[in-house]
Structure 1
């Protein structure tokens, strides 16, 4: 283990980092980047506090330019964990980009599911139900209640999750650089890969309406051999274009649009089918 140089994120930088996430987690939000820039801007005060040279700051910030998207309230914990790990890296611990991004990718999916269930699916409907009850007869109390209570719960809940994540990030260093570090990092990356695979299988829905000469459809045949084969193929195509050929996400989406248009026109996709040739 490398010698600790005593660097520690200041309370001012921690506070600024948290507030950057609280106010700006949807900064420059797009389908291509989602919360990437909100995540990046929340790490900016931390990186500036830990590293003096611009070169070190630039190198560290590149870690946080990867795609990021989670439920903003519960997901504050991921930002806190990242801060703890960045602090450890600045002190010479064997924490690399792969470890930080592996943990981030592995946590953002599960915490998004928890946050969507607890916050979006439970807490907000409860608060809105109370607010609508208070608003009967045109009373402004409902709106006032919701604005005050929601903002207080969101602020202090996100603050607790952020600082709890920061503490966990620091405590996780020993496990990450200890004898089992390699196996742990590989496990974290594998979990992230499984989450991405599950998301692709769940949300990428591609089927074909092509009929086969002997009867039946190509889709039923594919499902019998390898369910979700077409979604897998399109997902791998997107990965190949962006990761190997360095095609931008926007151009990749345009390519998929062209493929979808041509496929629908010839009957491979959609309700239309290609009739079997006749003698």
Structure 2
């Protein structure tokens, strides 16, 4: 039986341990089924064990954290902090809001994090250190790299974690018994974000044509795109989701199915490479 009661509040040392465990492993614990989720579980598991004395509650929390998660590791610090605070504050009742919060924000956070940290700032620092190295200065690039790493660690990552933690507490304090409404709102946002990824990430189009007398119509541009742009990606996504709901179909099996299906359809001209 799961319990709704909290029996333990985390110390600052417990929270710091979560931060450092995630910082150390970062994006190292990775798989193609849940992407960065193993890193989250590794970072949060000691704290969650202290929060949940009941074994079933603890397992449910770990299973919830092990769901698909993919964002810029730096920005993930804030979501980890918020998740931790919500579960510490509201226990097992917070599992659904936690998942909804992560699902709705991991996409936008990835866009922000990748643009600012992975592209802009890293490019600037890399250009500076590279120029110094080419000029024969071997000490300055190492020193700048070390200073930059410390700035990112203590000036960005750590504040993001604690900012996320404080935000998580604020969410629970503010909404309290209205968590179900928060969950619904976050779920809608999450579905919207995931839905927007379908036409931008998944590219599928058919090369088939339909002839009626002397008139030839391209099924993709003349029919499917007129009904709904990106209709085939939506259908493909729906089918994969339905397969994943079946216990006999694992993510690995779905990947191989997509590869085989794409090769066969490409060979017979049913599918073509999107322009």
Shared fold (TM-score, shorter chain, > 0.5): yes
Unaligned segments of structure 1, at least 5 residues? 272-279
Q: Secondary structure at the match of 1:195?
A: helix
* 1:38 Cα deviation after fit: 0.4
**Structure 1 residues 1-279: aligned runs within 5 Å:** 7-90=8-91, 95-156=93-154, 157-178=156-177, 180-214=178-212, 215-220=216-221, 221-244=223-246, 246-270=248-272
Q: In the TM superposition, what whole-angstrom CA distance separates every residue of 1:9-41 from its partner, at most 9, and x where no partner exists?
A: 112211111011111122331222210100111
Further displaced range: 193-202 or 42-51: 42-51
Superposition deviation, residue 253 in structure 1: 0.8
Quote how far apart the aligned CAs of 1:68 are. Answer: 0.5
| Counterpart secondary structure, 2:182 | helix
Contact 2:7 2:52 in 1 (8 A): no
Measure, in 1, the Cα distance between the counterparts of 2:245 and 2:256.
Answer: 17
In 2, are the aligned partners of 1:206 and 1:230 still within 8 Å (CA)? yes
> With structure 2 as the length reference, what TM-score do the two structures score?
0.90
Partner of 1:216: helix, strand, or coil?
strand
Q: Is the 8 A contact 1:208 1:269 kept in 2?
A: yes
CA distance in 2, matches of 1:153, 1:251: 43
> How many residues were matched structurally?
266
When residues 246 and 160 of structure 1 are mapped into structure 2, their CA distance, relative to the original with a 3 A threshold, is: farther
CA RMSD of aligned residues (A): 2.1
* TM-score (norm. length: structure 1): 0.88
Gaps of 5+ in 2: none
Deviation at 1:245, TM superposition (A): 5.1
Q: Deviations over 1:145-165 (max 9, x none)?
A: 343023112211111100111
Equivalent pair of 1:132/1:142 in contact (CA under 8 Å): no
Query: How far off its partner does 1:77 sit?
Result: 0.2
Higher strand share: 2
Residue 217 to residue 146, structure 1, CA distance change in 2 (3 Å): farther
- What is the CA–CA distance in structure 1 between the aligned matches of 2:126 and 2:239, rounded to whole Å? 43
Distance in 2, Cα, partners of 1:76 & 1:44:
15
